[in-house]
């Protein structure tokens, strides 16, 4: 997030898109609801499905899945033509505006309606609402990024924020809501193929030199493979060994059949987890790990706030904290690691990571700190890009609409979009083992528009089979008017119905994120 | 009729003070058949019949209080229950000597500690009874015999509610706003007012003038809170959910789609009756549409709320003038089971000024001027315009003139600003928009050249003795004649009804003020299936009164259609009785520490305003609404009459 | 700042203070029950009534604003007796079973009754509401007999969550809290703010006094909001989750259903407890030394025969920063490859 969560309390207008906030980030949804109901902030929701927050929105737009660039360009078109844009901001703090104008000029509301299905007058109202509010914030999540055009979508929303000067001030910004507790931290720490911690590129010789000195080994400058490219690399035997810590790709990756085949080809699969997950079952060796309540450390949340994790209870059996396991494996492997405590690891990483340099465990006792926090006196940075952008001037990236990789056709007439339920988390390994949550929500449904359901003679609770070009899944169906016609929604929490057997591994060319939010499927009633 | 009379109304039960016989204001009879034997309420007891058993009456009063207790504070919720149980025991003949001091101390503590006026006032008549009718309580305990239950009528009201012609449950909806339940608030409002967005903008708000908080600091902004919830619904694209009602066969015809006609159709619709409204204009809203300019009441609000009425089974036939395009008889022939007359007061009063009938170019009555402007025209040309009058219509005319591009807009009024009937906020806004005011000025002659207005000859006035309205009468100063040069003259000194569409042979009685003569409670004309409301019944009055008449007429029409006749209900009579004694006491010092100022809605910058008819007042944002609503003292009052 | 007098002490208050705020700012305690610092003043319990010179009646300290020169008395005989009366009223119908109540020891009513010396049922018992009613969520049973209608739950649901699933049903002594299942999100905010034992947690078995347990403050392990939470711990087990009233935290004392009720997995019997090695198509238990040696040896073999880039690591967005750092360090410096990634894209 460019801004902090607390900052949302000051927004005058929220544009929420590609985020089912009340189900996936409930506490943030509370803030949005509170801001609207108790302060009078405006809320625009743009979602193919009628998510719960849409019912409280001033404006609710329902675009066809995968058409985000088109409506974002359309909103900018209106803002530009009606002179609601922030000329001073664009002039002083950005570059590339001319190219953007040339692009958005081609997205008048009429054309946008044809692409997205959003009525023109609604788009204009939304553009005016966002464009004229003193402080507007964009919130988004995977609904914007899990497309082949994911990077373009994000750039487009950044364009919108910059065009209206909604950057670098409280209550504004472009705010991705990260789905997992420490996904921000994992990125910050360099669990990425191309960067060390703090986004220091491995290809840069100076960075390598710095880390070589600290780590005492020569380091490779060749960026590694991404997780989504790993499957292919295993298939063609480029990857022989996989060390998986706390991941369950057998439920989360697109096109599971393919993933499973790939894993079976490995010479060595090491899985380190708290449960014997679907993935762990395929491992050669399994390490039992401590869970968050059993370890010391830090998480970095979606607004870049580093906060402490504390040990509340002892880990069961012989479980060790993940860092202890890594250190021991590394030592056994011949690269000795001795730390003694998470605090010692943090001191080492903070010294090597400029944005974390000023953070210490002692400081964190008084509460979290937002990075960048470059020195011990620095109060942290809740709002990014104040005064100037990290790169100097904000650069507009004019982007054009590209249709999704797989559109429905006569064989696969429905668009499947995947997501989460409020009560469950990711692959359900934790939440489905919690009595209360399981009681609230024991199973997943393929949600389908009632009219579509009526035509297919599908009723609540019927078993249906969803088939895509990649696989088939049988699950219960539930007619739900929140789904527009032609769209089926299904959650990926449930191992009984592995929805990612169906999804399309087509990826965004830059971020390598699979297109989980759009794939073509067919729905049939299951044979008895 | 016995001569007994007792009143402790308005006195402190613990102190002996001067007898203020406010109690005498309370009527002795309920209706033709029944006397009011005693009355209990928030300020004490009035009794005209010594045989009334005060112990039983207290039991009933406290029982009712317990049933009304909202449950939101401990003393009232549980305390009135304990009081009720003790009184019940005494009345069953199982009282003890310890009960009376227990009642007294508990009653006092409940009055001291309760959150709102139900708990603060419910114990008051009991405390009065324990002091002034102690012998009855002692006897009940001593004799230990069951006391038979009397016959009582009960009513809940509040100063604001009572002052409102449509008796909205104002404490109820203000509290709902304070709790953030905006939709619930709107639902409460719609029970008694089907045009919340309209009334929330232009109501003359008698409720605020009767707000008890005003005695501590400033009244609650009731009007703006109403507007807030109406706007909230509209802005969020939500629509009210009307219950599914079985449509009745009988259709009812309504003359005029003004506030009274729309309200009548709305509340008939809720009862399942389909309606047809005949409207002469091409717009819904009547005077609210063509008499109130858009900068005070944007037309889309009116259209939206009229549209909701249509959803309830109402058909509005625009451009049909009853009496010209269709006659009353023809309406009845179409099969209407009843007619509601709500044709309004669209005819301008004459000002008895020389030249007003000469047909000069540049002369136009305020009613016509506003109507023309409402349809987007600039009916008068020139640079300067003089408006005559001191009411809201005059202010509307002069502020409209500013927006139509008159470089100079002047208002002429024969008394001073203090006597102006117009809303002070309207006067303030007009001044902000650079309207010039000529007070103590009486026009006597319109000057013209070649049939075109050139000026207005006036006399200076001074204020003399108060007249019947209590305002000081303006007296002309001899020989003070002077001329105001002007291009246009617009008188706006009042309206009358045009009832020429009602044929004399219809036998519909008219009053000498040229209004329809109907029952003031049921709005029925002469026992026939004809009802009348709004300005054509009252003469020019307020929008909320028009809505109230439409709402009540709908209730009585339905009753008439179902039962063949309609008489005032007990609650109507009770309301009338309570009004006599007054629910709002301007002398009272409310038991709160004030100092929390009212929130005033923001207004459009005066420079921005005059360029267009954009709405001037902005309404509250949610934070302002919550804060303002939390100032409400919730002055609910319980009234019990023994018959 | 303005000057007021409380209990004969001259103190300074902020102009926008209520009497209660001014008193607490100056270290003067006024007893409360419905007041909660994360909620706007409710004014339902009437425990905080105080006397102000010049006013005929006592006023609630929590909702009454201060004024320059105001003289407040917090412990006059009149208000002390009022408080006693109110406590007596709250105890009408209250089951006198503190020994089997989950709130005992952290119950505001118990503390007040003790402080003001109110014994059981001084007003007698009034038979109402004698039944545990269905509530907005199956995870939180509601006992109307223990409920004092302070309305903290209703306000929390409305003000903090914006959900509005709770309201008062019926009137007078029959009034109780009613929940709307279709709106409720089972976040447990109501349970957290309940000052008595009216709301409990159905998921703790056997029943435990969660509020009295040791609280370990940590960061929630579910979504990316990073809510600060307190794991309530006894005998090496997590029994419940509360949230610290920390206005600086990203969640400001609030949680969702996952954070509040999703803790059973921590000590779940399905947890892995020993290292496993696959042998002949099935797993066998192994010691750490053996499992680590096995994994290290195989990794070394693969590196030797196929080069370090034949090894890849999937790190985890579930693990800590320290662990992610170490993981990539191991792959980059130990193994010698940049093949490291995690599920940020999923």
C263 and A CB contact within 8 Å: yes
| Distance in Å from the first CA to the final CA of chain B | 14
Shortest CA distance to A4 belongs to which of A425, A393, A386, A395? Answer: A386
C282 with C337, same domain: the answer is no
Distance CA B46, CA B358 (A): 61
Q: Which residues contact A389 (CB under 8 A, 6 or more apart)?
A: A93, A167, A168
Asked whether the predicted pLDDT for residue B2 surpasses 70, the reply is: no
- Smallest Cα–Cα separation from A139: which of A254, A27, A252? A27
Local structure of residue A459 (DSSP, 8 states): -
C60 and C8, same structural domain?
yes
The average pLDDT across B448-454 equals 95
CA of C23 vs chain A CAs: smallest distance (Å) = 27
Q: What is residue B64's predicted lDDT score, i.e. its pLDDT?
A: 97
Could you tell me if C16 and C61 lie in one domain?
Answer: yes
Q: Provide, as residue numbers in chain A, all residues whose Cβ is less than 8 Å from the Cβ of B237.
A: 58-60
Report the residue from C49, C78, C149 with minimal CB separation from B71: C149
CA atoms within 13 A on the CB side of A394: 31
> What is the average pLDDT across C99-128?
88
> For residues C21 and C88, is the Cβ–Cβ distance under 8 A?
no
* DSSP structure string for B471-514: SEEEEEPTT--EEEE-SEEEE-S-EE---TTS-GGG---B-TTS
Tokens coding A405: 């990789």
**Residue C259: inside a domain, yes or no?**
yes
> What backbone phi and psi angles, to 5 degrees, belong to B215?
-80, -20
**CB distance B626–A57 less than 8 Å?**
no
Instruction: Classify residue C117: in a domain, yes or no.
Output: no
C298 and C316, same domain (yes or no) = no
Q: Chain C: nearest CA to B428, how far in angstroms?
A: 30
Rounded CA-CA distance A245/A274 in Å is 10
Rounded Cα distance between A111 and B272, Å, is 45
Quick: pLDDT tens for B478-516. 999 999 999 999 999 999 999 999 988 888 999 998 999
d(CA C255, CA C187): 6
Whether residue C323 is contained in a domain is answered as yes
Per-residue pLDDT tens, chain A, 528 aa: give them. Answer: 888 888 888 999 999 999 999 999 999 999 999 999 999 999 999 999 999 999 999 999 999 988 999 999 999 999 999 999 999 999 999 999 999 999 999 999 999 999 999 999 999 999 999 999 999 999 999 888 888 888 899 999 999 999 999 999 999 999 999 888 999 999 999 999 999 999 999 999 999 999 999 999 999 999 999 988 888 898 888 999 999 999 887 767 767 777 788 888 999 999 999 999 888 999 999 999 999 999 999 999 999 999 999 999 999 999 999 999 999 999 999 999 999 999 999 999 999 999 999 999 999 999 999 999 999 999 999 888 888 887 788 899 999 999 888 888 999 999 998 889 999 988 888 899 988 999 999 999 999 999 999 999 999 999 999 999 989 999 999 999 999 999 999 998 988 888 888 888 888 887 778 888 888 999 999 886
- pLDDT, averaged across chain C: 93
Q: What percent of chain C has pLDDT over 70?
A: 98
Distance CA B147, CA A328 (A): 89
Which pLDDT does position A481 carry in this prediction? 93
Q: Euclidean distance between the first and final Cα of chain C, in Å?
A: 54
Q: How many residues are recorded in chain A? A: 528
> Is the domain of C16 the same as that of C41?
yes
How many Å apart are CA C91 and CA C126, to the nearest integer? 10
Q: Does residue B313 contact residue B273 with C-beta atoms inside 8 Å?
A: yes
In a domain, C190, yes or no: no
C340 & C298 share domain: no
**Count of domains in chain C?**
4
State the pLDDT at residue B27. 83
Beta-bridge partners for C277: A285, C284
**H/E element holding A211?**
helix A205-215
Locate all alpha helices (DSSP H) within B14-98, ordered by sequence.
54-68, 74-91
Cβ-proximal residues to B3 (8 Å cutoff; 6+ apart), any chain:
none
Residue of C224, C278, C297 best to disrupt the A interface, most CBs of A under 10 A: C224
Distance CA B590, CA A222 (A): 80
Q: Which domains does chain A have, with CATH numbers?
A: 6-177 (3.40.228.10), 183-370 (3.40.50.740), 414-525 (2.40.40.20)
C211 secondary structure, DSSP code = G
The helix (H) or strand (E) run that includes residue B172 is helix B170-178
Residue A220 has φ and ψ, to the nearest 5°, of: -80, 140
**Tokens at residue B406, please?**
């008159």
The H or E element that residue C10 is part of is strand C9-13
Ordered by where they begin, the domains of chain B are: 6-150 (1.20.1440.230), 160-241+584-629 (1.10.1060), 251-346+498-567 (3.50.50.60), 348-496 (3.50.50.60)
* Cα–Cα distance, A116 to A69 (Å, whole number): 10
Query: Is B591 within 8 Å of C64 when comparing Cβ atoms?
Result: no
The backbone torsions φ and ψ at residue C200, rounded to the nearest 5 degrees and listed phi first, read -130, 180
Torsion angle of C-alpha atoms B394, B396, B398, B402, degrees rounded to 10: 180
Are B72 and C44 in contact (CB < 8 Å)?
A: yes
Same domain, C248 and C287: no
> Are A25 and C223 a contacting pair at CB < 8 A?
yes
Q: How far is CA B311 from CA B185, B243, B262, B279, in A?
A: 21, 11, 12, 17
Crossing angle, helix A109-116 and helix A68-81, to 10 degrees? 170
Contacts of A516 in chain C (CB under 8 A): 346
Which of C12, C40, C75 is the C-terminal boundary of a domain?
Answer: C75
Here the CATH number for the domain that contains residue C253 is: 2.20.25.90
Q: Which chain C residues contact residue A422 at CB under 8 A?
A: 185, 256-258
Asked if A382 contacts A6 with a C-beta cutoff of 8 angstroms, the reply is yes
Residues C216 and C235 in one domain: yes
* Cα–Cα distance measured from residue C190 to residue C158, given in angstroms and rounded to the nearest whole number: 10
What's the pLDDT at B10?
82
> Do C7 and C36 fall into the same domain?
yes
End-to-end, the C-alpha distance of chain A in Å comes to: 49
State how far the alpha carbon of B448 is from the alpha carbons of B354, B451, B456, in Å: 11, 6, 9
CB C274 to CB A513 under 8 A?
no
pLDDT at position B606 is: 87
The confidence score (pLDDT) of residue B417 equals 93
> For residue B14, what pLDDT band results from cuts at 50, 70 and 90?
low
pLDDT at residue B538 above 50? yes
Residue in chain C nearest A38 by alpha carbon: C159
Which of these three, C217, C240, C268, is where a domain ends?
Answer: C268
pLDDT at position C103: 92
Q: Going by C-beta distance under 8 Å and a sequence separation of 6 or more, which residues neighbour residue C209?
A: C102, C103, C104, C105, C106
DSSP A190: T
Q: What is the pLDDT of residue C128?
A: 64
pLDDT of C332 reads 97
d(CA A215, CA A395): 36
* DSSP β-bridge partners for residue C176: C169
Whether residue C171 is contained in a domain is answered as no
> Using CA atoms, how far apart are residues B44 and B622, in angstroms rounded to an integer?
39
Phi, psi of C219 (to 5 degrees): -110, 135
Q: Is the dihedral of CA B27, B28, B32, B33 positive or negative?
A: positive
Q: How many CB atoms lie under 10 A from the CB of residue A442?
A: 10
DSSP classification of residue B252: E
Put simply, the answer to whether B591 touches C57 (Cβ < 8 Å) is yes
Instruction: Report yes or no on C69 lying in a domain.
Output: yes
Sorting pLDDT into bands at 50, 70 and 90, what band is B581?
Answer: confident
Q: At what angle do helices A97-104 and A150-163 cross, to 10 degrees?
A: 110
Confidence (pLDDT) at B87:
97
- Same domain, residue pair C57 and C7: yes
DSSP H helical ranges for B493-588: 535-538, 543-563, 570-581
Give the angle subtended at the CA of B157 by the CAs of B154 and B159, to the nearest 5°: 145
- Residue pointed to by tokens 């988390």: A425
Q: Which chains sit next to B, with 3 or more Cβ pairs under 8 A?
A: A, C
Distance from CA of A205 to the nearest CA of C (A): 14
ipTM of the complex: 0.92
C256 shares a domain with C230: yes
How far from the centroid of its chain's Cα atoms is residue B132's Cα?
A: 37
Q: From the list A38, A58, A60, which residue is nearest B235 (CB)? A: A58
**Same domain for C30 and C62?**
yes
Strand partners, B387: B411, B490
Tokens 């070394």 — which residue? C300
Displacement of CA B18 from its chain's centroid (Å): 34
Long-range contacts of B424-432 (CB under 8 A, 24+ apart): B426/B392, B426/B395, B426/B396, B426/B399, B427/B395, B429/B399, B429/B603, B429/B616, B430/B395, B430/B398, B430/B399, B432/B606, B432/B609
**Predicted confidence band of residue B598 (pLDDT cuts 50, 70, 90):** very high
The per-residue pLDDT for range B158-176, each reduced to its tens digit, is 999 999 999 999 999 999 9
What is the pLDDT averaged over residues C307-319?
94
| Gap between the Cα atoms of B260 and B540, Å rounded | 12
β-bridge mates for residue C199, sequence order: C142
Q: Is residue C279 part of a domain?
A: yes
> Do C312 and A225 make contact, defined as CB atoms within 8 angstroms?
yes
Total number of residues shown for chain C: 346
> Which DSSP category does B597 fall into?
P
pLDDT of residue B1: 45
List pLDDT tens digits, range A373-383.
Answer: 999 999 999 88
Residue reference for tokens 């497309």? A147
In a domain, residue C157? The reply is no
Q: Write out chain C residues lying below 8 Å of A216, CB-based.
A: 333
Residue A83 Cα, gap to closest chain B Cα (Å): 19
Domain that holds residue C68: 2-75
Quick one: pLDDT band at residue B298, thresholds 50, 70, 90? very high
Contact B636, B158 (CB under 8 A): yes
Question: At B482, phi and psi to the nearest 5?
Answer: -150, 165
């Amino acid at each position: 997030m460019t801004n902090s969560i607390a900052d949302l309390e000051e927004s005058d207008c929220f544009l929420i898109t590609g985020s089912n906030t009340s189900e996936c980030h409930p506490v943030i949804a509370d803030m949005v609801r509170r801001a609207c109901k108790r302060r009078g902030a405006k809320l625009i929701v743009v979602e193919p499905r009628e998510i719960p927050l849409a019912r409280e929105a001033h404006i609710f737009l329902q675009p066809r899945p995968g058409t985000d660039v088109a409506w974002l360009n359309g909103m900018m078109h209106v803002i530009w033509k009606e002179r609601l844009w922030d000329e001073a901001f664009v002039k002083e703090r950005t570059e590339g505006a001319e190219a953007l104008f040339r692009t958005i000029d081609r997205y008048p509301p009429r054309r946008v309606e044809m692409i997205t299905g959003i009525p023109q007058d609604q788009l204009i109202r939304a553009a005016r609402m966002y464009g004229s509010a003193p402080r507007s914030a964009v919130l988004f999540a995977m609904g914007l990024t899990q497309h082949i055009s994911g990077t373009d979508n994000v750039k487009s929303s950044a364009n919108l924020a910059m065009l209206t000067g909604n950057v670098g001030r409280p209550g504004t910004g472009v705010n991705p809501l990260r789905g997992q507790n420490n996904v921000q931290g994992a990125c910050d720490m360099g669990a990425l193929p191309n960067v060390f911690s703090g986004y220091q590129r491995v290809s840069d010789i100076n960075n390598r030199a710095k880390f070589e000195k600290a780590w005492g080994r020569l380091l490779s400058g060749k960026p590694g493979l991404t997780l989504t490219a790993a499957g292919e690399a295993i298939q063609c035997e480029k990857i022989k060994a996989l060390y998986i810590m706390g991941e369950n790709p057998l439920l989360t990756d697109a096109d599971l059949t393919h993933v499973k085949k790939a894993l079976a080809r490995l010479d060595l699969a090491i899985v380190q987890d708290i449960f014997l997950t679907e993935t762990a079952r395929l491992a050669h060796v399994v390490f039992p790990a401590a869970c968050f309540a059993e370890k010391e450390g830090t998480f970095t949340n979606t607004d870049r706030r580093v906060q402490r994790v504390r040990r509340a209870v002892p880990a069961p059996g012989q479980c060790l904290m993940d860092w202890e396991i890594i250190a021991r494996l590394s030592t056994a492997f011949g690269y000795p690691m001795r730390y003694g405590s998470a605090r010692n690891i943090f001191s080492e990483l903070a010294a090597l990571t400029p944005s974390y340099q000023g953070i210490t465990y002692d400081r964190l006792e008084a509460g979290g700190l937002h990075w960048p926090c470059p020195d011990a006196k620095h109060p942290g940075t809740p709002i990014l890009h104040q005064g100037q952008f990290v790169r100097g001037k904000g650069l507009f990236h004019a982007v054009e609409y590209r249709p999704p990789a797989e559109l429905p056709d006569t064989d696969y007439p429905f668009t499947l979009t995947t997501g989460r339920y409020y009560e469950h988390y990711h692959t359900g390994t934790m939440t489905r083992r919690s009595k209360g949550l399981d009681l609230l929500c024991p199973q997943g449904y393929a949600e389908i528009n009632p009219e579509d359901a009526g035509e297919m003679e599908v009723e609540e609770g019927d078993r249906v089979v969803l088939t895509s070009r990649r696989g088939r899944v049988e699950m219960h169906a539930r007619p739900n008017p929140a789904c527009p016609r032609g769209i089926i929604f299904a959650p990926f929490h449930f191992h009984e119905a592995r929805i990612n057997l169906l999804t399309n591994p087509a990826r965004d060319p830059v971020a390598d994120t699979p297109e989980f939010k759009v794939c073509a499927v067919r729905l049939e009633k299951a044979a008895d | 009729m016995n001569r007994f009379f007792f009143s402790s109304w308005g006195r402190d039960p613990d102190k002996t003070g001067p007898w203020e016989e406010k109690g005498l204001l309370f009527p002795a009879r309920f209706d033709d058949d029944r006397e009011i034997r005693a009355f209990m309420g928030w300020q004490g007891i009035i009794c005209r019949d010594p045989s009334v058993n005060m112990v039983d009456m207290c039991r009933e009063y406290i029982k009712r209080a317990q049933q009304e207790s909202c449950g939101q504070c401990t003393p009232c919720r549980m305390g009135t229950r304990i009081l009720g149980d003790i009184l019940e025991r005494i009345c069953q003949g199982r009282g003890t000597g310890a009960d009376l001091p227990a009642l007294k101390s508990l009653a006092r503590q409940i009055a001291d500690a309760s959150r709102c006026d139900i708990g603060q006032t419910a114990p008051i008549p009991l405390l009065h009874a324990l002091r002034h009718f102690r012998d009855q309580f002692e006897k009940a305990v001593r004799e230990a015999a069951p006391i038979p239950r009397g016959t009582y009528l009960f009513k809940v009201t509040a100063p604001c509610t009572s002052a409102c012609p449509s008796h909205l449950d104002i404490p109820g909806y203000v509290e709902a706003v304070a709790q953030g339940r905006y939709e619930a608030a709107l639902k409460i409002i719609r029970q008694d007012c089907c045009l919340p967005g309209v009334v929330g903008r232009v109501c003359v708000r008698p409720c605020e003038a009767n707000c008890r908080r005003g005695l501590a600091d400033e009244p609650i902004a009731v009007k703006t809170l109403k507007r807030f919830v109406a706007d909230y619904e509209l802005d969020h694209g939500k629509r009210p959910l009307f219950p599914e009602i079985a449509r009745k066969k009988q259709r009812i015809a309504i003359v005029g789609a003004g506030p009274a006609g729309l309200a009548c159709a709305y509340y008939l619709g809720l009862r399942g009756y389909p309606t047809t409204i005949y409207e002469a204009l091409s717009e819904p809203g009547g005077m609210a549409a063509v008499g109130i300019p858009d900068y005070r009441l944007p037309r889309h609000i009116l259209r939206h709320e009229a549209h909701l009425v249509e959803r309830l089974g109402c058909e509005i036939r625009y451009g049909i003038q009853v009496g010209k395009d269709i006659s009353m008889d023809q309406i009845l022939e179409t099969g209407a089971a009843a007619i509601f007359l709500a044709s309004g007061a669209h005819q301008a009063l004459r000002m008895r000024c020389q030249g007003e009938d000469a047909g000069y170019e540049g002369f136009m009555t305020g009613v016509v001027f506003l109507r023309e402007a409402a349809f987007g025209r600039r009916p008068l040309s020139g640079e300067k315009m003089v408006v005559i009058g001191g009411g809201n219509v005059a202010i509307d005319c002069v502020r409209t003139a500013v927006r139509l591009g008159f470089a100079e807009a002047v208002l002429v009024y024969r008394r001073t600003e203090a006597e102006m009937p117009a809303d002070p906020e309207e006067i303030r806004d007009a001044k902000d928009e650079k309207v010039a005011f000529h007070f103590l000025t009486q026009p006597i002659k319109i000057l013209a050249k070649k049939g075109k207005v050139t000026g207005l000859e006036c006399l200076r006035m001074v204020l003399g003795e108060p007249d019947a309205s209590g305002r000081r009468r303006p007296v002309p100063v001899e020989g003070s004649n002077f001329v105001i040069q002007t291009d246009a003259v617009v008188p706006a000194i009042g309206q009358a009804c045009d009832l020429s569409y009602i044929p004399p042979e219809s036998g519909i009685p008219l009053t000498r003020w040229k209004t329809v003569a109907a029952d003031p409670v049921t709005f029925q004309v002469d026992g026939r299936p004809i009802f009348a409301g709004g300005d054509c019944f009252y003469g020019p009055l307020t929008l909320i009164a028009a809505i109230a008449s439409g709402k009540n007429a709908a209730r009585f029409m339905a009753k008439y259609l179902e039962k063949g006749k309609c008489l005032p209900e007990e609650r109507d009579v009770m309301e009338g009785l309570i009004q006599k004694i007054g629910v709002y006491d301007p002398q009272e010092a409310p038991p709160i520490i004030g100092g929390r100022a009212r929130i005033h809605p923001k207004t459009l910058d005066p420079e921005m305003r005059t360029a267009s008819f954009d709405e001037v007042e902005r309404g509250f944002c949610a934070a302002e609404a919550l804060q303002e609503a939390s100032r409400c003292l919730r002055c609910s009052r319980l009234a019990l009459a023994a018959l | 700042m303005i000057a007021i007098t409380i209990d004969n002490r001259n103190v300074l208050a902020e102009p926008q203070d209520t009497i209660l705020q001014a008193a607490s700012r100056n270290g003067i305690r006024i007893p409360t029950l419905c007041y909660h610092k994360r909620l706007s003043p409710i004014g339902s319990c009437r425990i905080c009534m105080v006397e102000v010179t010049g006013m005929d009646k006592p006023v609630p300290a929590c909702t009454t604003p201060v004024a320059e020169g105001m003289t407040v008395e917090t412990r006059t005989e009149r208000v002390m007796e009022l408080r006693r009366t109110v406590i007596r009223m709250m105890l009408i119908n209250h089951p006198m079973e503190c020994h089997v109540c989950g709130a005992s020891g952290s119950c505001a009513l118990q503390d007040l009754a003790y402080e003001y010396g109110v014994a059981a049922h001084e007003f007698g018992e009034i038979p109402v509401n004698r039944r545990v009613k269905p509530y907005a969520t199956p995870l939180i049973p509601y006992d109307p007999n223990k409920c004092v209608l302070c309305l903290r739950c209703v306000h929390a649901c409305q003000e903090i969550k914006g959900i509005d699933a709770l309201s008062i049903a019926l009137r007078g002594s029959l009034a109780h809290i009613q929940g709307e299942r279709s709106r409720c999100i089972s976040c447990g905010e109501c349970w957290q703010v309940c000052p008595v034992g009216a709301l409990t947690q159905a998921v703790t078995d056997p029943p435990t006094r969660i509020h009295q347990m040791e609280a370990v403050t940590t960061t929630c392990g579910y979504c990316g909001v990073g809510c600060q939470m307190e794991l309530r711990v006894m005998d090496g087990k997590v029994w419940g989750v509360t949230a610290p009233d920390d206005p600086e935290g990203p969640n400001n004392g609030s949680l969702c259903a996952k954070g509040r009720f999703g803790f059973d997995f921590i000590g779940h019997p399905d947890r892995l407890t020993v290292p496993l090695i696959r042998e002949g198509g099935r797993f066998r238990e192994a010691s750490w030394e053996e499992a680590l040696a096995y994994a290290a040896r195989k990794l070394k073999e693969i590196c030797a025969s196929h080069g370090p880039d034949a090894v890849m690591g999937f790190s985890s967005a579930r693990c800590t920063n320290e662990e992610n750092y170490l993981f990539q360090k191991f792959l980059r410096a130990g193994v010698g490859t940049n093949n490291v990634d995690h599920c940020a894209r999923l």
